[in-house]
Amino acid sequence: MIVAGFGFRGAASESSLRDAFARVGGKADALAAPDDKAGAECLIRLAQSLLLPILPICPKALAQVQTATHSAKVMAVRGVGSVAEAAALAGAGPAARLICPRIVSGDRMASAALAESGA
């Protein structure tokens, strides 16, 4: 299973997320985001248009993931180097591997990453 993880600002639009998703390849079996953002209208609209489920990821699960990229600001706020990468990896399961590191949307409002489940 391939999971697209997302990190995004509160003002992000569906277009922001769609652009980030396209930049990581635009193919996934599920979308993942921190649980406090999993109900965001922009993510729900994207998931509905793609006919994909949203996997809400709890803060503890995000913080346990080692990410390939690191943002000091995100680390201070979320306790993880990349929300998109952590969400993708956590959503794909314990033996997941990152297949596309975090890529930021053109408007810099969203980021996406892809992870594939192991085994």
Domains and CATH numbers, the chain: 2-116 (3.30.420.180)
Q: State yes or no: pLDDT of 15 exceeds 90.
A: yes
Q: State yes or no: pLDDT of 5 exceeds 90.
A: yes
Tokens of 98: 């990152």
What pLDDT score was predicted for residue 119?
63
Average pLDDT over residues 12-30: 97
Average pLDDT over residues 46-66: 95
Q: Using an 8 Å Cβ cutoff, are 69 and 102 in contact?
A: yes
Instruction: Give the C-alpha separation, 43 to 46, whole Å.
Output: 5
Hey, which of 36-40, 71-75, 80-84 has the most confident mean pLDDT? 36-40
Tokens of 102: 């975090």
Q: State yes or no: pLDDT of 75 exceeds 80.
A: no
Rounded to the nearest integer, the mean pLDDT of the chain is 94
